[in-house]
Structure 1
Amino acid sequence: MRSKTLRRKAAAVGLGAFVVLLDQITKAWALRAVPAQESITLIPGLLRLHVTENSGAAFSMLQGAGSFLVLAIVVAVIVILLAIQSSERWWETLTLGLVLGGAMGNLVDRLTRGPGFSDGRVVDWIDPSFFPTFNLADTSITVGVALLLLFSVLSRE
């Protein structure tokens, strides 16, 4: 039983690492593929690729709060790792892995893409016409939290 639990927790951390890798690869691709200050339309009026740098949090809130955001993300990562450690349900462990990967992906940007350490900006590049621009890390956080909530509700029934 213990080895199964350990494998599940390792899988969650591995999933998080995979999300970070995929997030960083897609951001690097977007920076090379999409010309600065331009966009590539994929579905007219609905979806385009447009690279922006966000120094704030979700929806560009807290612009310029770089060091605070880095600290908040580090605390969130620690809390997520502790939650993975104490998790007993497979779905909880894996969905937390998605959230972990998304948080870490954006943390990498904050630490490496800016004028100074922890002053970085997150690269966003997926631009739906009806929603703020986002990236794969944001998607991983959103999907992870949504699945966590869904499974939590379903497991109570």
Structure 2
Amino acid sequence: MAEAERIIGTPDTPDADREEQERAGTGATAAETERPRGKRRIAVLFAVAVFAYALDLISKMIVVAKLEHHEPIEIIGDWLRFEAIRNAGAAFGFGEAFTVIFTVIAAAVIVVIIRLARKLYSLPWAIALGLLLGGALGNLTDRIFRSPGVFEGAVVDFIAPKHFAVFNLADSAIVCGGILIVLLSFRGLDPDGTVHKD
């Protein structure tokens, strides 16, 4: 009798129950795989931020030690040179009378990026936000630790193209991150990895 039930496949067989359990298990596994994927994107964000921050910090240390109070160094004739200046304003020298305000804005941007990281599932967004975070941290470090005082410090700028404002690697990271965010927004890609169409 048992052999006949095995051959015919009566409703008493546990195959259907097993399939439902496997489907349920697959759903749980998919949900679990989302968490590591999100963690990887967060890791990319902070890795990019640390890289951008380290490059900015090291370049400023070299500039202060070797270039400040010295003649500018010409890289490509007079089209591009390294010239150490102290900038109390925002990126590219704008708004020098609002140093404290720019410091608060930079700190707020950092907090927003860190909070947004919890919902991050997009690799391009992770790179863009990492560039913004690293750049903001780089200039915020100057605001806090450089003269004339805490939250009023002047940022070290040194990249001086002809007919353009002097800037640093933190400014470059912020601009690149901002451009990437604009491009991602135009394509409809959200930080959580979904794509929306207007």
**Overall identity of the aligned pairs, in %:** 34
1:89 — aligned with what? 122
Which residue of the other structure, out of 114, 117, 120, is the alignment partner of 2:147? 114
1:126 — aligned with what? 159
Alignment root-mean-square deviation, CA:
1.7
* In 2, Cα distance between equivalents of 1:145 and 1:20: 16
Within 5 Å, give how 1:1-157 maps onto structure 2. 1-36=34-69, 38-155=71-188
Q: TM-score, normalised by structure 1?
A: 0.91
Instruction: With a CA cutoff of 8 Å and minimum separation of 6, indicate the structure with the bigger relative contact order.
Output: 1
- Partner-residue secondary structure (3-state), 1:65: helix
* In 1, Cα distance between equivalents of 2:101 and 2:36: 38
Deviations 1:11-67 (A, max 9, x none): 201211221111010011112222515200011121000000000112322213232
Structure 1 letter corresponding to 2:131: L
Identify if the C-alpha distance between structure 1 residues 28 and 64 changes in structure 2 by more than 3 Å, giving closer, same or farther. same
- Partner-residue secondary structure (3-state), 2:96: coil
* In 1, Cα distance between equivalents of 2:103 and 2:186: 31
Q: State the Cα distance separating 1:121 from its structure 2 match.
A: 0.6
* In 1, Cα distance between equivalents of 2:52 and 2:68: 25
Q: TM-score, normalised by structure 2?
A: 0.73
* In 2, Cα distance between equivalents of 1:99 and 1:63: 21
Aligned length: 157
Structure 2 letter corresponding to 1:96: L
* In 2, Cα distance between equivalents of 1:108 and 1:40: 25
Flag the structure with larger Rg: 2
- Partner-residue secondary structure (3-state), 1:116: coil
Structure 2 letter corresponding to 1:134: F
